[in-house]
Amino acid sequence: MKIIYHNPRCRKSRETLQILKDKNIKFKIIEYLKNNLSKTQLENLIVKLDIEPINLVRRNEQLWKDNFKTKDLTNDEIIEILSDNPKLIERPIVESNNKAIIGRPPENVLEII
């Protein structure tokens, strides 16, 4: 079963969700803004995404610019920031088995479904 880390207020996230529905893919929705992801969950996602933690950050968010942009942060610190501030997590993310992909553009998810 696929998992979509979803923000219903995000257009790209809604578009990705629609792709999954249109392809009749069974999936579970995790609204990560309602239920913060733990540091361990984020670490596992980052491994599945095969990216550096900084690449999961929405760097244009004002929260990032105001509080973190100019700091020299370790990967662990970035993951902690994402866990504490889920608004900063790039979205949507679709997870399938041992892989995950960021749905930007939404069509990216076709690679793992």
CB 76 within 8 A of CB 82: no
> CA-CA distance, 37 to 23, in Å (whole number)?
27
Tell me whether residue 10 is one of the annotated catalytic residues: yes
Would the CA dihedral through 95, 59, 19, 32 be positive or negative?
positive
Catalytically annotated residue among 3, 4, 10, 79: 10
Residues annotated as catalytic are 10
